[in-house]
Amino acid sequence: MIGRAGHRGGAFTLVELLVVLVILGIAASIVVAVFGSTGDLKTAAAARKLTSDLQYAQNFAITHQTKVRVAFDASGNSYTLLSVPDAGSATVMTHPITHKPYVVTLSSDEGLKNVSLGSVDFSGSTAIDFDALGAPDQGGQITVVSGSTLKTLTVAPVTGKISIQ
C-alpha cells in the first residue's frame, strides 16, 4: 500500500539497512577489542580456577585442622591436593563436587585446552603446604600460560593471600 508521500508503510530503505549494518559492525569490533583473544580469556579462567583450588586447600586445612599440600607437576600440566595428617602419609583428597581424586590436569578441561602451567616456585619446591591455621609453609609463584598470554599467581608467605598479575 502506498502512503501519502509515495512511501510504502512498514518497510526500511536501503540506506537505513546499511546504517544499521555499519553500526552493528562497529559495535562488534568494540566488543572483540574489549574481551581480547581467547588466549587471554583461557589464561584468566585457568588462573581463577587455580586460585579457587588453592583457597579450597587453605580452607580445608583450617576446617579439618590438618595439613593440606598442593603439589604441582608443571611437565604433566597438573596439580594434586593432598591431605597430610601426619609427617609421612599423604593421601589424595576427594573433590567435593565430582567425588573423584582431586587431581587437576589443565589440558583435560575442554575450556582450557591450550593452557599450561609455566613455572612453579615455592622457595625451590613445587609444592605448598597449608597448616591447620591456613598459613602456607612458604610463599611463592605459579605462572599459567596460553599462547603469548601469561598470568602469575603469587601466594603471600605468612597469610597465604593469593593475587593474580
- pLDDT tens digit sequence for 33-53: 666 556 678 888 889 999 999
42 neighbors 146 (Cβ within 8 angstroms)? yes
Candidates 3.20.20.70, 3.30.450.20, 3.55.40.10, 3.50.50.60; correct CATH number of 38-164?
Answer: 3.55.40.10
pLDDT value, residue 120: 93
2 pLDDT exceeds 60? no
> What's the chain's average pLDDT?
87
How does pLDDT run across 71-127, given as a tens digit for each residue? Answer: 999 888 999 999 998 777 889 999 999 999 999 998 887 778 888 898 999 998 999
pLDDT at 163: 92
**Taking residues 50-72, what's their average pLDDT?**
94
pTM reported for the whole predicted model: 0.76
In terms of phi and psi (left: phi > 0; alpha: psi -120 to 50; beta: otherwise), the region of 32 is alpha
Residue 8's pLDDT band (boundaries 50, 70, 90)? Answer: low
